[in-house]
Amino acid sequence: MGLLSKKDAKLITDPLADNNPITIQVLGICSALAITAELKASLVMGIAVLFVLGIGNVVISLMRNIIPSKIRIIVQLIVVASLVIIVDQVLKAYAYELSKTLSVFVGLIITNCIIMGRFEAFALGNGPWKAFLDGIGNALGYAVILLIVGFFRELLGSGTLFGIPVLGDPIEKTGLYSTGYENNGFMLMPPMALIIVGLIIWVQRSRNTSLIEH
Amino acid sequence: MSTNTDTNKYTILFAIGMVVIVGSLLAFTASTLKPNIQENERMETQQNILYTMGINENGATDIKFIGTDKVAGEFSKYISKQLIINKDGSSEENSEAYLIDVKKEQAKAKNGGTRQLPLFVGQKDGQAFYIVPIRGKGLWDAIWGYVALDEDMVVQGAFFDHAGETPGLGANIKQRYFMDDFVGEKLLTASGDFKGITVAKGNNDPKNLTKDDYEVDALAGATITGDGVSAMIKSDLKLYLPYFKNLKTQLN
């Protein structure tokens, strides 16, 4: 990363692992549970949050000296909500197909606590460039967990990846299904996402014991 | 910054200023983009209607509407009549029937008014399709669709869409493997009574080979969305029964 100083690079790499927004800060759990039944939905959500958090962090950072502290949460909420709505409207007008895919995610993006969390914890106290890197880093950290959870839920729940059957046909009983294997419908339910996130947290903390809180 | 951002006066002024700026920004975006958005929605309606009668660019498992450049031409080519159905089953032509907002009509009926029932007659390869728009409630938000029927009210094609069902679960009503299951299903019993189609769990027919059980296989993890689909088929398509009864007598 020749472009970035070591400190700046850390802003991106830290949230990917040791300061991951989902597994360490435990933010954004609600959307991680809701939309990870499919890998494609996880990917779309990851990209959407990347955009919103990257831009939102910069906007909040630019406004950080004029926002009254008493109503800062409301201001943050309004910034993210108007950003998302404007993007949604523009997509509806000029990229209708894409907006159909994203429409379901709009509400989930606005209420994503990672976005509010980064505004509050980072963008309000740092310059725009740093805030931008922090936004990108956290969104990537979020997307990584979403993709891991989505991978296992779609594979074990539906036997597909990105909608493509990889384990054979469950109805015709071909491939792995011929051995008596069955899709686990429970994997499609939100609680299983919580269990997978729990397993990721366990693996991560057993590899790096300094992350364990006492 | 020299200004004190903690005073009440500053906070209130900031709040007012922000509301005005954000409000006008949103209003400006919405009103400038409105014609484009409406045009897109109009074309989408036409695409959806044509989709149910098999005029689309589908691959093996995906959903692809005919292009927006062609849709207007194809729509006037294949849709021979647009009708508004009266309660007694009689009908009148209305070339803009596809623009009727089913949501508003349902609200009218709820408030005691008369609901306009649009129906589109399509002709393709000598076969007639009677396409009906339906609308109902899913788990989180509205769901709607178009169902193409033949004169015996047997489903020839179906398209469903939703405003905000859970991605990967309820949102899958928009998938081919769900919509295609409806093709060939009957809405009427042998004696001509309206029965509808139920999205059913455990109907022991995952491939949906039995076409006279009035059931299609449900989606895992999408029970409430599935129930919403059953409900909108039953409540909305039933209103068209008098028209199809008249049509039968006319054709015989």
Who contacts B131 (Cβ-Cβ below 8 Å, separation ≥6)?
B49, B52, B53, B79, B119, B120, B121, B122, B146, B147, B148, B149
Residue A168 lies in a domain: yes
- Give the pLDDT confidence score for residue B1 in this predicted structure: 47
Best residue in B4, B13, B40 for a mutation probing chain A (most A CBs within 10 Å): B40
Cβ distance B25 to A82 less than 8 Å, yes or no, reads yes
- Token pair 């990229």 is at which residue? A95
Mean pLDDT of chain A: 85
DSSP B24: H
- Give the pLDDT confidence score for residue A214 in this predicted structure: 66
Which portions of chain B are predicted below pLDDT 70?
Answer: 1-3
A159 near A183, Cβ under 8 Å? yes
pLDDT in tens, A6-55: 888 888 888 887 888 888 878 888 888 888 888 888 888 888 889 889 99
Domain count of chain A? 1
Sheet strands side by side (includes B155-162): B91-93, B79-85, B117-124, B127-137, B142-149, B155-162
At B64 the three-state DSSP class reads: coil
Beta-ladder partners of B161: B144
* Torsion angle defined by CA atoms of residues B212, B214, B220 and B222, in that order, rounded to the nearest 10 degrees: 160
Task: Give burial (CB, 10 Å; 0-12/13-18/19+) of A145.
Answer: buried
Residue A205 lies in a domain: no
Residue A189 lies in a domain: yes
Whether the CB of A199 is below 8 Å from some CB of chain B: the reply is no
- Token pair 């009549």 is at which residue? B81
Who contacts A80 (Cβ-Cβ below 8 Å, separation ≥6)?
A52, A56, A109, A110, A115, A116, A119
Tokens linked to A126: 């740092």
pLDDT in tens, A74-120: 998 898 888 888 888 888 888 888 788 777 777 778 878 888 888 98
Residue A208 lies in a domain: no
Question: Nearest Cβ partner of A68 from B11, B30, B44?
Answer: B11
**ipTM of this complex:** 0.75
Distance CA A63, CA A8 (A): 21
What are the helix (H) ranges across chain B? Answer: 8-52, 71-78, 102-110, 176-179, 223-238, 241-251
Q: Mean of the pLDDT values across residues A182-193?
A: 83
Chain B residue with Cα closest to A162 = B168
In this predicted structure, the answer to whether residue A1 has a pLDDT above a threshold of 60 is no
Mutual angle of helices A128-158 and A113-121, in 10-degree steps: 160
Q: Which residue has the higher pLDDT, A63 or A37?
A: A63
- Residues of chain B numbered 202-221 and touching chain A (CB < 8 Å): 206-207, 220-221
Residue A115 lies in a domain: yes
- Give the pLDDT confidence score for residue A180 in this predicted structure: 80
- A 10 A CB-CB count for B216 gives 28
Chain A residue with Cα closest to B36 = A93
Structural domain containing residue A69? 8-199
Tokens linked to B165: 């069902």
- Give the pLDDT confidence score for residue B165 in this predicted structure: 85
Looking at beta carbons, which residues of chain A come within 8 Å of B6?
68-70
Which among B4, B23, B21 has a CA at the least distance from the CA of A70?
B4
Residue A212 lies in a domain: no
Whether the CB of A5 is below 8 Å from some CB of chain B: the reply is no
Q: Mean of the pLDDT values across residues A107-134?
A: 87
A62 near A128, Cβ under 8 Å? yes
Whether the CB of A34 is below 8 Å from some CB of chain B: the reply is yes
Residue A126 lies in a domain: yes
- E strand or H helix that includes residue A139: helix A128-158
A99 near A92, Cβ under 8 Å? yes
